[in-house]
């Protein structure tokens, strides 16, 4: 197990990324509450967040909370270009960059003292370089571990820099609420708070076996390790995704089963195309749901053999939706998502019997080739005709 003895890991996270790009490109928006997204909030400036606006909130609710907000349509190409420019700055800072999303990354700067200075000096210069060359504010946390660096950047937002030195890690970490721990969502937080465990320090005081009894073996061991500052993960360059997914915010309007199916087809079409582009196959399909009361649920199914065939994965996903249909009808649905996991490289596989003679893989490959040459609208599924094309969020390569 490798654990660094010095604070050399940076977590760099752009502030309110989409909204900041809009404010950068339109000076009239600076200092004003900005909402990106018409029907559903994709991003909100800190001026809008101060009024209670949050990402994934319905547009009507957001405008009630902040009636003077400026609402703008998303410009995904602008966000992709800005992300590319920021990652260029990251890679000029250090070759050891692990991207987490288009607006955040871990950077390891431990071997750069003689040529670039101390980690805090490098972090400060990184923030200056991003603002000077890309025109965007960025917050950086510096710590000995990935977990602490990410928490530090969250605490320092917006547009801040926070260094957690090794000798004050627990003094920094333990007063924080339990929600700062990776893996503590709403349900886990309720379980812990019911037992009087409200801070990270409280978690650290609980024996590991007691945490296991409360939240389960894997989560219990994970939370106990984080609460005492143990996180041996290194910054890894070029690490491949563990899953490939997409989701679609539905807003508050009731959707018929046919409308939900059309949304589902579009999502599965996108994620399977990404899967094949990355030359990977998936064994597990995960359905993600968010209901009208903002509670969430997941359903999953694991196949006997991994695949990248759109038709096969769509059938599995439709079956998961059908099994959940009574709950959706009763509780409504505001978000639908699909993730493909248990990924493997798309190496030549022994074909399972009976062999598919209908050419599913050949059809997928042909459709992918046509779209790559002539654009996404060149060929589509009939159920998606005359429907607005879903917003595709920019992301790092799969």
> 340 and 292 in one domain?
yes
Q: Taking the CA of residue 308 as centre, how many other CA atoms within 13 Å lie in the half-sphere pointing to its CB?
A: 27
Please tell me whether 345 is known to bind a ligand.
Answer: no
Look up the CATH number of the domain holding residue 31: 3.30.70.270
253 shares its domain with 374? yes
219 located within any domain: yes
Ligand-binding site membership of 231 (annotated): no
pLDDT of residue 367: 74
Pairing of β 34-36 and β 9-14: unpaired
Q: Which of 228, 261, 277 is the last residue of a domain?
A: 228
Res 364: pLDDT: 72
Are residues 205 and 299 located together in one domain of the fold? no
> How high is the pLDDT of residue 47?
97
Domain identity same for 139 and 59: yes
Same domain flag for 189 and 157: no
Q: Considering 22, 47, 104, 169, which one is annotated as catalytic?
A: 104
pLDDT at 384: 66
- Give the integer Cα–Cα distance in Å for 156 and 163: 9
pLDDT at 40: 83
Same domain, 179 and 271: no
- The total number of structural domains that make up the chain: 3
Q: What is the pLDDT of residue 2?
A: 45
Q: Is 238 a member of any domain?
A: no
Q: 248 and 301 share a domain?
A: yes
Q: What is the DSSP letter of 119?
A: H
**Same domain as 138, residue 77:** yes
Residue 104 annotated in active site: yes
Would 394 be classed as within a structural domain?
A: no
Q: What's the chain's length in residues?
A: 398
Low-confidence ranges of the chain (pLDDT < 50): 1-2, 357-359
Does 176 lie in the same domain as 160?
A: no
Asked if the structure places residue 140 within a domain, the reply is: yes
Mark whether 1 and 19 lie in a shared domain: yes
Q: Please tell me the pTM assigned to this model.
A: 0.79
Continuous H helices in 117-256:
119-134, 146-156, 169-173, 186-193, 200-205, 208-215, 217-227
| pLDDT at site 249 | 82
Distances (CA, A) of 140 to 8, 160, 170, 193: 12, 6, 19, 30
Task: Quickly list H helices, the chain.
Answer: 17-25, 46-49, 59-65, 76-93, 113-116, 119-134, 146-156, 169-173, 186-193, 200-205, 208-215, 217-227, 257-277, 310-331, 360-374
Which residue range(s) make up the domain with 57?
Answer: 1-166
């Amino acid at each position: 197990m490798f654990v660094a003895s010095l604070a050399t890991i940076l977590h760099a996270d752009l502030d309110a990324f989409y909204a900041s790009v809009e404010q950068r490109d339109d000076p009239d928006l600076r200092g004003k509450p900005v909402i990106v997204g018409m029907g559903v909030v994709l991003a909100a400036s800190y001026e809008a967040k101060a009024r209670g606006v949050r990402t994934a909130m319905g547009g009507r609710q957001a405008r009630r909370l902040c009636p003077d907000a400026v609402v703008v349509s998303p410009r995904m190409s602008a966000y992709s270009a800005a992300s590319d420019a920021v990652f260029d700055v990251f890679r000029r800072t250090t070759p050891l960059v692990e991207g987490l999303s288009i607006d955040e990354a871990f950077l390891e700067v431990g071997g750069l003292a003689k040529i670039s200075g101390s980690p805090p000096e490098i972090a400060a210069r990184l923030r200056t370089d991003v603002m000077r060359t890309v025109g965007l504010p960025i917050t950086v946390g510096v710590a000995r571990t990935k977990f602490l660096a990410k928490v530090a950047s969250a605490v320092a937002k917006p547009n801040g820099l926070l260094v957690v030195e090794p000798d004050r890690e627990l003094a920094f970490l333990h007063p924080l609420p339990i929600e700062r721990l990776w893996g503590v969502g709403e349900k886990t937080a309720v379980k812990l708070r019911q037992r009087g465990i409200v801070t990270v320090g409280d978690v650290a005081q609980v024996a590991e076996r007691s945490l296991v009894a409360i939240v389960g073996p894997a989560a219990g061991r994970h939370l106990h390790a984080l609460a005492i500052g143990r996180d041996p993960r290194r910054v890894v360059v070029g690490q491949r995704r563990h899953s490939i997914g997409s989701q679609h915010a539905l807003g508050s309007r009731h959707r018929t089963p046919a409308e939900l199916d059309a949304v589902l087809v579009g999502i599965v079409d996108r994620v399977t195309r990404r899967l094949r582009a990355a030359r990977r196959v998936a064994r597990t399909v995960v359905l993600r749901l968010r209901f009208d009361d903002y509670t969430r649920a997941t359903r999953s199914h694991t196949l006997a053999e991994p695949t990248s065939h759109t038709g096969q994965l769509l059938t599995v996903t439709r079956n998961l939706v059908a099994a959940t249909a009574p709950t959706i009808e009763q509780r409504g649905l505001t978000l639908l998502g699909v993730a493909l996991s248990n990924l493997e490289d798309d190496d030549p596989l022994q074909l399972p019997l009976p062999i598919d003679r209908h050419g599913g893989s050949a059809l997928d490959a042909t459709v992918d080739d046509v779209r790559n040459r002539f654009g996404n609208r060149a060929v589509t599924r009939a159920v998606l005709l005359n429907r607005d094309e879903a917003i595709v969020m920019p992301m790092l390569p799969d």
